[in-house]
Amino acid sequence: MFENHPDGFLRHLRRPIGYREPALRVADFRQISRFQWDPGQLRTQGERCMDCGIPTCMAGCPIGNIIPDWNDLVSRGAWREALARLHATNNFPEFTGYTCPAPCETACTLAINDDAVTIKDIERAIVDRGWEAGWIRPQPPSQRTGKQVAVVGSGPAGLAAAQQLNRAGHRVTVFERDDAIGGLMRYGIPDFKFPKEQVARRVQQLHDEGIKFRSGVTVGEDLSIDELKGQFDAVCLAIGARRPRDVPVPGRDLAGVLFGMEYLCAENRHQAGEPLHARMNAQGQRVIVLGGGDTGADCVATAHRQGAQSVVQISINARLPDVRQPDNPWPGSPQIHRQNYALQEGGEEAFSLNVVAFLDQDQDGKVDALELERVDWGRDDQGRRTEKLVLEAGIVMPTERVLIAIGFEGPEASCLNDARLTLTPRHTLKADVRKMTPVPGVFVAGDAGRGQSLVVWAIGEGRDVARQIDLWLMGESRLPASLQTAYPPLPPRGL
Ligand SMILES: Cc1cc2nc3c(=O)[nH]c(=O)nc-3n(C[C@H](O)[C@H](O)[C@H](O)COP(=O)(O)OP(=O)(O)OC[C@H]3O[C@@H](n4cnc5c(N)ncnc54)[C@H](O)[C@@H]3O)c2cc1C
Ligand code: SF4
């Protein structure tokens, strides 16, 4: 291995598959990443991997994908073997290959003083190739254990848990309150970031492996936890962390002020053929998006595609520096300012602005402006905002639509209607190291257990909880632990 490209990183520049031209892609709802890629280009990109001995990229990847192996296999054209290596740690590589922010790449050794290997695009190419060539097929288990497991929630955590548990031989039923399966991969993440046919074909694979799906069932309302426990040997709660953080200032109830998630889901449904209610259409409007994260960026990009007149994305925090600071060295994630994909398509970003009120100056019940103040924040030793210094008050910005995308406050645990399922101070579902809640046999995975996070973490959590459930049911398990479980973080120095 690696003998055929000992100096590939010296011979080849980084050339990712990349995205379609902003001016073209903003005119439609089709995927923003380029449709086609050249196998020869990806092979040379695989050659850039140095087999550096200590693969920090793997430590950067939350599921410990065996990145140097598949880089090398791709460089030699061994796509099918690369796919097997990829599936060994990741149930749904296209979920990550299209949406992951790729912390592996910032941890790549080449990134110390050069451009990282295009790890995410190689992952995407391997799995694209796998689907195209028909290599991805159902893998039902050869034996059944006689045990039954209920998985509540069909996001990436629930689906990964279900596939792992089913492959261990348990009979798995997935309960989902929405009408369609997929969690945020289906309703939330826009179609142009992740096309929904990609969710559907995985759901079909899981179905063909023997997993049952029951959509339109809200656990806690239609079925209690005790009823589930009566019918199943174990229960996994993968209900996400969808309680949106609000901006409780005067005027919050005005028409035109919405949570970003309501808006994004409405457009997902529209793309699936449902009519778009006028309340969810930003055409011709001056849109303000509150929140500088992923959800905010997706709102900006959706508003542009709907034909908004202008879009401003506002962050309460100061703009990050353009280059790494001395207290933020490699291989940590770089805390630097990067223009997100949505702003590359248009719109403006603004920083250090705090919302004071939503205004209705003509008294028609609809928002027509936002009152803001420019601020500077004191920080505690954890980097949390403490005292506020107002630098400029009374800033008024006209708008017909405000989308609130300032984060999430944990799972909607109240809908489970079970007093034994409590929240931690971090607003996550309480569980022990086995991921078991205070209710014996009821486990938790994904955002519900770690707070709103990333698709890759959700997949890793789903894999880990499946192993814990298997151990609890059978006393032993052949399911793999993720890198994070196999190698838990070291205790602080000096202990
Ligand atoms: C707009 C947006 C964009 C994002 N973009 C990215 C991105 O680009 N890259 C990335 O890595 N991450 C992204 N994320 C984060 C990522 O989507 C989540 O971390 C991930 O989906 C979490 O998976 P999960 O399975 O834990 O939960 P979810 O995907 O939230 O799924 C939970 C499921 O449980 C169901 N459910 C809840 N309660 C019940 C109940 N009582 N009964 C039955 N079903 C129930 C819900 O309907 C939902 O389908 C984004 C998040 C948002 C909101
Ligand atoms: S899942 Fe994300 S972090 Fe892991 S290899 Fe893929 S792109 Fe990198």
116 lines ligand 2 (CB under 6 A): no
pLDDT of residue 51: 87
Give the residue-averaged pLDDT of 49-66.
Answer: 93
- Atom in ligand 1 nearest the alpha carbon of residue 159: 25
Query: Among 35-49, 319-333, 427-441, which is the least confidently predicted range?
Result: 319-333
What is the CA(491)–ligand 2 centre distance, in A? 25
pLDDT of residue 494: 37
The protein residue with its alpha carbon nearest to ligand 1, atom 2, reads 295
pLDDT of residue 165: 98
Angle at 116 between CA 110 and CA 119, to 5 degrees: 125
Q: Residue 481 — pLDDT band, cuts 50, 70, 90?
A: confident
What is the CA(61)–ligand 2 centre distance, in A? 5
Mutate to test the pocket of ligand 2, among 58, 87, 94, 100 (most ligand atoms within 8 A of CB): 100
Flag whether pLDDT at 157 surpasses 50.
yes
Phi, psi of 269 (to 5 degrees): -65, -40
Which one has a higher pLDDT value, 424 or 488? 424
Does residue 81 sit in helix, strand or coil?
Answer: helix
What is the CA(449)–ligand 1 centre distance, in A? 12
CB atoms within 10 A of CB 419: 6
The protein residue with its alpha carbon nearest to ligand 1, atom 13, reads 454
Average pLDDT, the chain: 94
Query: Among 46-55, 119-128, 265-274, which is the least confidently predicted range?
Result: 46-55
CB atoms within 10 A of CB 418: 19
Mutate to test the pocket of ligand 1, among 409, 455, 456 (most ligand atoms within 8 A of CB): 455
219 lines ligand 2 (CB under 6 A): no
Flag whether pLDDT at 37 surpasses 50.
yes
The DSSP code sequence of 214-229 is EES--BTTTB-HHHHH
pLDDT of residue 201: 98
Distance, CA of 15 to chain centre? 24
Domains with residue ranges and CATH for the chain = 8-132 (1.10.1060.10), 148-242+409-486 (3.50.50.60), 257-404 (3.50.50.60)
- Burial of 218 by CB count in 10 Å (0-12 exposed, 13-18 middle, 19+ buried)? middle
**Chain segment 280-326, per-residue pLDDT in tens:** 999 999 999 999 999 999 999 999 999 999 999 999 999 999 999 99
CB atoms within 10 A of CB 217: 16
Phi, psi of 164 (to 5 degrees): -65, -45
Residues with C-beta less than 6 Å from any ligand 1 atom: 99-100, 152-158, 175-178, 183-184, 188-189, 193, 218-220, 238-240, 242, 261, 264, 294-295, 298, 412, 415-416, 446-448, 452-456, 458
Closest ligand by atom to 455 CA? 1
Residues 6+ apart with CB under 8 A from 71: 46, 48, 49, 117, 119, 122
Flag whether pLDDT at 96 surpasses 50.
yes
Residues 6+ apart with CB under 8 A from 107: 56, 57, 59, 60, 61, 330, 331
Mutate to test the pocket of ligand 1, among 239, 418, 464 (most ligand atoms within 8 A of CB): 239
pLDDT of residue 488: 52
Mutate to test the pocket of ligand 2, among 45, 57, 65, 90 (most ligand atoms within 8 A of CB): 65
Give the residue-averaged pLDDT of 183-208.
Answer: 98
**Chain segment 445-467, per-residue pLDDT in tens:** 999 999 999 999 999 999 999 99
What is the CA(458)–ligand 1 centre distance, in A? 8
CB 180 within 8 A of CB 202: no
Flag whether pLDDT at 493 surpasses 50.
no
pLDDT of residue 413: 76
Helices (H), 28-108: 39-47, 56-60, 67-75, 79-87, 93-99, 103-107
What the block records as the tokens of 319 is 């703009």
The protein residue with its alpha carbon nearest to ligand 2, atom 4, reads 61
**Chain segment 223-244, per-residue pLDDT in tens:** 999 999 999 999 999 999 999 9
Flag whether pLDDT at 145 surpasses 90.
yes
Give the residue-averaged pLDDT of 316-342.
Answer: 92
- The DSSP secondary-structure symbol of 55 reads -
Closest ligand by atom to 106 CA? 2
pLDDT of residue 487: 52
Closest ligand by atom to 91 CA? 2
Q: Residue 215 — pLDDT band, cuts 50, 70, 90?
A: very high
Does residue 292 sit in helix, strand or coil?
Answer: coil
Buried (b) or exposed (e) across 452-465, using 16+ Cβ within 10 A? bbbbbbbbbbbbbb
Buried (b) or exposed (e) across 61-71, using 16+ Cβ within 10 A? bbbbbbbbbbb
pLDDT of residue 4: 74
Going by their DSSP bridges, the two strands 286-290 and 401-404 should be labelled as parallel
Give the residue-averaged pLDDT of 195-205.
Answer: 98
What is the CA(142)–ligand 1 centre distance, in A? 31
pLDDT of residue 53: 87
Give the residue-averaged pLDDT of 337-351.
Answer: 96
**Chain segment 366-412, per-residue pLDDT in tens:** 999 999 999 998 888 877 888 899 999 999 999 999 999 999 999 98
Helices 119-132 and 79-87 pack at an angle, to 10 degrees, of: 110
456 lines ligand 2 (CB under 6 A): yes
Q: Which amino acid is at 383?
A: G
- Atom in ligand 1 nearest the alpha carbon of residue 457: 19
What is the CA(28)–ligand 2 centre distance, in A? 27
Distance, CA of 290 to chain centre? 19
Through-space distance between the first and last CA atoms of the chain, rounded to whole angstroms: 40
104 lines ligand 2 (CB under 6 A): yes
Residues 6+ apart with CB under 8 A from 6: none
With a pLDDT cut of 90, the percent of the chain lying above it is 89
The protein residue with its alpha carbon nearest to ligand 2, atom 3, reads 61
Residues 6+ apart with CB under 8 A from 222: none
pLDDT of residue 2: 64
